[in-house]
Amino acid sequence: MTEPIIAQRAPYPVDEEPGHKVWCACGRSKNDPYCDGSHKGTGITPVRVEITEAKRIFWCGCKHTGGQPFCDGSHGKLES
């Protein structure tokens, strides 16, 4: 399995509407924080989420969160 690429060292704050979302877990998507299929062949699987109400979501940008797909501050502990 390939390690995820750090897309950015901060979360993606997004005002989301209810519905299905698919978070990019590999860091290769051109549509981050959402999956665009770029994970194919990496062994990394995107994370599907059901948003039940309109709210601000902080999607993980570093791809190393312990609470996938949401930011848990792990980006602050990554080495440069």
Domain map (residue ranges) of the chain: 12-77
Q: Which pLDDT score is estimated for 2?
A: 84
Q: Measured between alpha carbons, how far is 11 from 67 in angstroms, rounded to an integer?
A: 12
Name 38's Cβ contacts closer than 8 Å, sequence gap at least 6.
24, 26, 28, 29, 30
Per-residue pLDDT of the chain (80 residues; tens, 9 = 90+): 689 999 999 999 999 999 999 999 999 999 999 999 999 999 999 999 999 999 999 999 999 999 999 999 999 999 86
State the virtual CA torsion across 59, 64, 67, 68 in degrees, nearest 10: 60
| Whole-structure pTM value | 0.93
Parallel, antiparallel or unpaired: strands 12-16 and 55-59? antiparallel
